[in-house]
Amino acid sequence: MPDPYLFTVTDHVATFSINGAPWNLMSLEYIDRLEEQLPDVLANDDIRAMVFTGEGLDHFSAGMNLKQIPEGIKRAGSPEAFFGQRHRVLDRIENGGTPAIATLFGYCLGGGLELPLACHFRIAADTGARIGLPEMDLGSVPAWGGSARLPRTVGRAYALDMILRGRNVDGPEAYRIGLVTEVLPLPDLKARAQALGEELASQPRQAVRSMLDAIVGHETKTLDQSMADEAAAVAANRGTPDAKEGMRAFMEKRKPVFNQ
């Protein structure tokens, strides 16, 4: 059996590429391996950004392999445990302290959107993308956190429009509603994800972690809580080697070199 995803690290950027072209379905083995490997990746200070993509240029992911659901529930012991594993994996991506980038092209449906929603940056192809949560068309509902994260990303009105109607959006519309931060030609998409990862990896590691801790999940925090998180981030980054390097570089009128 081929690896469920291909894993590489280049210039401090770890890439997870679903290895099932053209559809790149998220198999049981894909989630199992992610759950096993993510803790080591997130604990590795030499890895400072992550990219989630799919092999080929046809589709990021058409979602979960639905034929495997009965087997997955049997393995897990219950539907709650089965879907709970997916919640754990996506929560680890979102709250692990390492910036995560997703590439959206071709089909990005069901889990193929729910995983990107757990990432901090999403970039899409300017043509050909079909991005959505089509579970209503199956008489069901999103089960990997889609109904929780999509409204926090695009707002209640757009989330209801997409979920209740089973409506897909393309790259330009995803950009217009705030679902993605960039759209660009498909042939450039993966290179851009790597470049963005390298840019994030060059930022001061501790400061990036602090800001992710402060900003992720801000929708459920009061203003006072968010201000307290910022104050904690300021304290955690005061006097660090990167803070000193940043100030020296400013005074010397040069670009700082962080994470030395």
The angle formed by the CA atoms of residues 87, 193 and 205, to the nearest 5 degrees, is 75
Helix axis angle, 79-95 to 69-76, nearest 10°: 90
> Residue 95 — left, alpha, or beta (φ > 0 → left; ψ -120 to 50 → alpha)?
alpha
35 flagged as catalytic: no
One of 36, 80, 114, 182 is an active-site residue; which one? 114
Q: Which of 135, 230, 245, 252 is catalytic?
A: 135
Residue 121 near residue 100 (C-beta atoms within 8 A): yes
Residue among 117, 115, 145, 131 at smallest CA distance from 183 = 131
Q: ∠183-63-119 over CA atoms, to 5°?
A: 50
168, 132 Cβ separation under 8 angstroms: yes
CA distance 160 to 132: 11
| CA atoms 185, 183, 150, 6: torsion sign | positive
Residue type at 251?
M
Active site residue 114: yes
- How far apart CA 119 and CA 98 sit, in angstroms, is 10
Alpha-carbon gap, residue 128 to 178, rounded angstroms: 18
| Cα–Cα distance for residue pair 226/102, rounded to 1 Å | 26
- Residues involved in catalysis: 114, 135
